Amino acid sequence: MNILTLFVVIPVLTVAGILFTKDLKQSRLVSAIGMTAQLILSAILVYLYVTERQAGNMAPMLFTFDALWFPALNIHYAVGVDGISVAMIALTGVVVFAGIFASWKMEFLSREFFISLILLATGVFGFFISLDLFTMFLFYEIAVIPMYLLIGIWGSGPKEYSAMKLTLMLMGGSALLMVGILGIYFYSVPTGGQLTFNVLEIAKHKIPIEMQRFLFPFTFVGFGILGALFPFHTWSPDGHASAPTAVSMLHAGVLMKLGGYGAFRVAIFLMPEAAHEQAWIFIILTSISVVYGAFGAIFQKDLKYINAYSSVSHCGLVLFAVLMMNQTAFTGAVIQMISHGLMTALFFALIGMIYGRTHTRMINEMGGLMKVIPFLGVVYVIAGLASLGLPGFSGFVAEMTVFFGAYEHVDLFHRVATIVAVSSIVITAVYILRVVGTLLMGPITDKHFLHLEDANWYERLSTITLVIGITFIGMAPLWLSDMIHFSLAPIIAKLATIQLPGM
Amino acid sequence: MIDNIPLNAFLVISTLMFFIGIYGFLTRRNLITMLMSIELILNSVNINFVVFNKFLYPNQLHGHFFSLIVIAVAASEAAVAIAIIINIYRNFKSIDVENLDQMKF
Amino acid sequence: MTLNDIMFYLFAGSILTFSLLTVTSRRILRSAVYLLFVLVSTAGIYFMLNYNFLAAVQLTVYAGGIIVLIIFSILLTSHVSEKAVVAPVKQQIFSALAVAAGAVLTILTIFKFAFSPSVSPAVEANVKNVGRALVSYNRDGFALPFEVISILLLAAMVGAIVLAKKEKNPENIEKQTKL
Amino acid sequence: MNSYAYTLLIPLIPFFVFVSVGMAEDKLKGKLGGLIGTAGLGIATFLSYFTAFKYFISDHVAGTGYTSVKAFEITWLHLTDKLTINLGVLIDPISVMMLVVITTVSFMVHIYSLGYMEGERGFARFYAFLSLFSFSMLGLVLATNLFQMYIFWELVGVSSFLLIGYYYEKPSAFSAAKKAFIVTRFADLGFLIGILILSFNTGTFDFKELTNPHGIAIASMGGAAFMGLSVITWALIFIFIGGAGKSAMFPLHIWLPDAMEGPTPVSALIHAATMVVAGVYLVARLFPVYSQTGPAALQVVAWVGAFTSLFAAVIATTQTDIKRVLAFSTMSQIGYMMLSLGVSKYGGEDGLGFMASNFHLFTHAMFKALLFLGAGAVIHAVHSNDMNDMGGLRKYLPITHITFLIACLTIAGIPPFSGFFSKDEILSAAFESNKILFGIEYFVAGLTAFYMFRLYYNIFWGHDRHYHHTPHEAPLVMTVPLMILAFGSIFSGFLPFHNLVTSDGLAFESHIDWMIAIPSILVGVLGIAVATIMYKKENALPDKVAASFSFFYRWAFKKFYVDEFYMFVTKKIIFNYISRPVAWFDRHIVDGTMNGIANLIVFVSFNIKGLQSGRVQQYAFVFVGGVVAMVLIFVYVL
The one-digit pLDDT tens for each residue of chain C (179 residues) are: 688 888 888 999 999 999 999 888 888 888 889 999 999 999 999 888 888 888 998 899 888 888 888 888 888 887 766 677 777 888 888 889 989 999 998 898 888 888 887 777 877 778 888 888 888 888 778 888 888 988 998 998 898 888 877 666 555 555 545 44
The residues pairing with D72 across neighbouring beta strands, listed in sequence order, are D89
Domain termination residue (choose one: C33, C66, C84): C84
Q: Residue B86 contacts by C-beta under 8 Å, 6 or more apart in sequence?
A: C73, C76, C77, C163, C164
A165 contacts D78? CB cut-off 8 A: no
Can you name the residues that pair with D88 across neighbouring β-strands? D73
Classified as helix, coil or strand, D471 is coil
Q: How far is CA D209 from the centre of its chain?
A: 26
| Same domain (yes/no): C79, C1 | yes
- Does C105 contact D627 at a Cβ distance shorter than 8 Å? no
For residue A502, the model assigns a pLDDT of 44
Instruction: Please calculate the CA angle A169-A172-A176 and round it to the nearest 5 degrees.
Output: 145
- The mean pLDDT of D236-244, rounded to a whole number, is 87
pLDDT exceeds cutoff 50 at D494: yes
Whether the upstream peptide bond of residue B6 has omega within 30° of 0, thus cis, is no
Cβ contacts of C105 on chain D, cutoff 8 Å: 628, 631-632, 635-636
How many CA atoms, within 13 angstroms, populate the side-chain half-sphere of residue A490?
A: 19
Contact C51/B54, CB-based, under 8 Å?
Answer: yes
For residue C61, the enclosing domain spans 1-84
Beta-carbon contacts below 8 Å between B and D: 29
Name all contacts of A407-414 with Cβ < 8 Å and 24+ positions apart: A407/D196, A407/D200, A408/A324, A408/A326, A408/A328, A408/A329, A408/D80, A408/D200, A409/A324, A409/A326, A413/A280, A413/A283, A414/A283, A414/A324
Q: Nearest CA of chain D to the CA of B53: how many Å?
A: 25
pLDDT at B49: 92
Share of chain A above pLDDT 90, in %: 0
Residue of D617, D619, D624, D631 for testing the chain B interface, max B β-carbons within 10 Å: D617
Mean pLDDT, range A88-107, rounded to an integer: 86
Alpha-carbon gap, residue A336 to A484, rounded angstroms: 12
Distance between CA atoms of A437 and A443, rounded to whole angstroms? 11
How would residue D426 be classed by pLDDT, with cut points 50, 70 and 90? confident
Exposed/middle/buried for residue C110 (C-beta within 10 Å: 0-12, 13-18, 19+): middle
- What does the mean pLDDT of chain A come to? 85
Other chains touching D, judged by 3 or more CB pairs under 8 Å: A, B, C
Q: Nearest to residue C68, comparing CAs of C32, C119, C108?
A: C32
Residues of D near B (CB-CB distance < 8 A)? 609, 612-617, 620-621, 624
Assess contact for A263 and A223: CB atoms under 8 A: yes
| Stronger pLDDT, A140 or D558, i.e. the higher one | A140
Identify the chains in contact with C, defined as 3+ C-beta pairs within 8 A.
B, D
Mean pLDDT of D549-559: 71
Is A223's pLDDT higher than 80?
Answer: yes
The whole-model pTM stands at 0.81
Give the Cα separation of A3 and D51 in Å (integer).
Answer: 54
A408 to chain D, minimum CA–CA distance in Å? Answer: 7
In this structure, what are the phi and psi dihedrals at residue D3, rounded to the nearest 5 degrees? -70, -5
List of chain D residues whose C-beta atoms are within 8 Å of the C-beta of residue A486: none
Cα-based distances in Å from D203 to A168, A173, D190, D382: 48, 41, 19, 56
The helix (run of H) or strand (run of E) holding residue D243 is: helix D231-246
Amino acid at the residue A383: A
Asked which of A39-43, A358-362, A465-469, D146-150 is least confident by mean pLDDT, the reply is: A358-362
What are the φ and ψ backbone dihedral angles of D328, each rounded to 5 degrees? -70, -35
CB contact under 8 A, D609 and B105: yes
Exposed/middle/buried for residue A131 (C-beta within 10 Å: 0-12, 13-18, 19+): buried
**Residues of chain D contacting residue C94, judged by C-beta atoms under 8 Å apart:** 621
Q: Smallest Cα–Cα separation from A303: which of A359, A374, A226, A255?
A: A359
CA distance B67 to chain D (A): 24
The string of DSSP letters for D593-611 reads HHHHHHHHHHHHHHHHGGG
Residues of C in contact with D627 (CB under 8 A): 102
pLDDT tens-digit readout, D34-93: 888 888 888 888 888 888 888 887 777 776 777 777 878 888 888 777 788 888 888 888
Mean pLDDT of A461-466: 87
> What is the band of A503 on the pLDDT scale with cuts at 50, 70, 90?
very low
Query: What's residue C172's pLDDT?
Result: 54
- Phi (first) and psi of residue A405, to 5 degrees: -65, -45
In chain D, which residue's Cα lies nearest the Cα of A162? Answer: D595
CB-neighbour burial class of residue A213 (10 A; exposed 0-12, middle 13-18, buried 19+): middle
Nearest by CB to C95, which of D621, D631, D636? D621
Contacts with D621 from chain C: Cβ below 8 Å: 91, 94-95, 98
CA A487 to chain CA centroid, Å, is 19
Contact state of D624 with C94 under an 8 Å Cβ cutoff: no
Distance from the Cα of C174 to chain B's closest Cα (Å) equals 17
What pLDDT digit, counting tens, does each position of D508-547 carry? 777 777 777 788 888 888 888 888 877 777 677 777 777 7
Interface of D with C in 594-633 (CB under 8 A): 617, 621, 624-625, 627-628, 631-632
Q: CB atoms < 10 A from the CB of D618, how many? A: 17
Residues from chain D that touch A230, judged by Cβ atoms under 8 A, are 590
- pLDDT recorded at residue C14: 92
Instruction: Please provide residue D214's backbone torsions phi and psi, each rounded to the nearest 5 degrees.
Output: -105, 5
* Residues A385 and D158 sit within 8 Å (Cβ to Cβ): yes
Backbone angles phi, psi at D501, to 5 degrees: -115, 100
Residues C63 and C134 in one domain: no
On whether both C11 and C64 belong to a single domain, the answer is yes
Give the separation between CA D352 and CA D340, rounded to whole angstroms.
8
Q: What are phi and psi of D230, to 5 degrees?
A: -70, 160
Report the alpha-carbon distance of residue A290 to residue A230 in Å, rounded.
Answer: 9
pLDDT at D184: 86
| For A374, nearest residue in chain D (alpha carbons) | D26
Spatial CA neighbour of A81 closest among A185, A202, A200, A251: A200
Does residue C131 share a domain with residue C79? no
Q: Is the pLDDT of residue A7 over 80?
A: yes
A394-407 vs A327-358: helix crossing angle, rounded to 10 = 150
Considering only residues A499 and C55, tell me which one the structure prediction assigns the higher pLDDT: C55
Residue in chain C closest to B60 (alpha carbons) equals: C123
* The total number of structural domains that make up chain C: 2
β-strand partners of A70: A75
Q: What is the pLDDT of residues A370-425, one digit of tens each?
A: 878 888 888 888 888 888 888 888 888 888 888 888 888 878 888 888 888 888 88
CA angle A236, A237, A243 (to 5 degrees): 85
Give the rounded distance of the alpha carbon of D94 from its chain centre.
17
pLDDT at C16: 92
Name every residue whose Cβ is closer than 8 Å to that of residue D79 and which is 6 or more positions away in sequence: A328, A400, A401, A404, D85, D147
**CATH 1.25.40.340 correct for B7-99:** no
Q: Are D211 and D205 in contact (CB under 8 A)?
A: no
* Residue at C29 is within a domain: yes
Closest-CA distance, B28 to chain C, in angstroms, reads: 6
What residues of chain B lie within 8 A of the CB of D621, using their CB?
26
Give me the pLDDT at residue D222, please: 57
- Helices assigned H by DSSP within C113-169: 127-135, 143-164
Task: State the first-to-last Cα distance of chain A, in angstroms, to the nearest integer.
Answer: 46
Q: Identify the pLDDT of residue A281.
A: 87
Report the residue from D612, D615, D616 with minimal CB separation from B105. Answer: D612
> What span, in angstroms and rounded, lies between the C-alpha atoms of D499 and D455?
36
Beta bridge partners of A68: A76
Query: Span D356-364, mean pLDDT?
Result: 86
Identify whether residues C9 and C63 lie together within a single domain: yes
pLDDT digits 0-9 by tens, A150-197: 888 888 878 888 888 888 888 888 889 888 888 888 888 777 777 888
Which residues of chain D have a CB within 8 Å of the CB of A235? 594
Q: How far is C178 from chain B (nearest CA, A)?
A: 20
- Using CB atoms, which residue from A296, A299, A385 is nearest to D158? A385
Check whether B45 has a pLDDT greater than 90.
yes
Say what the pLDDT of residue B47 is. 92
Question: Among residues D439, D590, D445, D436, which one has the least CA distance to residue D528?
Answer: D445
Identify the burial level of A211 via C-beta atoms within 10 angstroms of its C-beta, where 0-12 means exposed, 13-18 middle and 19 or more buried: middle
Alpha helices for A187-299 (secondary structure H): 199-204, 209-226, 235-242, 245-250, 256-262, 269-270, 272-299
Q: Is A235 on the interface with D (CB under 8 A)?
A: yes
Residue C85 has its nearest CB partner, among B10, B30, B59, at: B30
Structural domain contains residue C50: yes
CB atoms within 10 A of CB D596: 12
CA–CA separation, D610 and A167 (whole Å): 28
Mean local confidence (pLDDT), D605-629:
84
The rounded radius of gyration (Å) of the Cα atoms in chain B is 17
Angle between helices A133-154 and A235-242 (to 10 degrees): 50
Amino acid B32 reads I
Q: Is D586 in contact with A441 (Cβ distance < 8 A)?
A: no
Q: Give yes or no for a contact between B21 and B40, defined as CB atoms under 8 angstroms apart.
A: yes
CATH code of residue C65 = 1.20.120.1200
Round the average pLDDT of chain B to a whole number and report it. Answer: 86
When CB atoms are compared, the residue of C54, C125, C164 closest to B86 is C164
pLDDT for res A277:
82
Distances (CA, A) of B22 to A341, B33, D616, D623: 66, 12, 13, 11
pLDDT digits (tens, 9 = 90+) for A300-320: 888 888 888 888 888 888 888
What per-residue string of b and e applies to D91-120 under the rule 16 or more CB within 10 Å gives b? bbbbbbbbbbbbbbbbbbbbbbbbbbbeee
pLDDT over 70 (residue D383): yes
Flag if C12 and B32 touch (Cβ within 8 Å). Answer: no
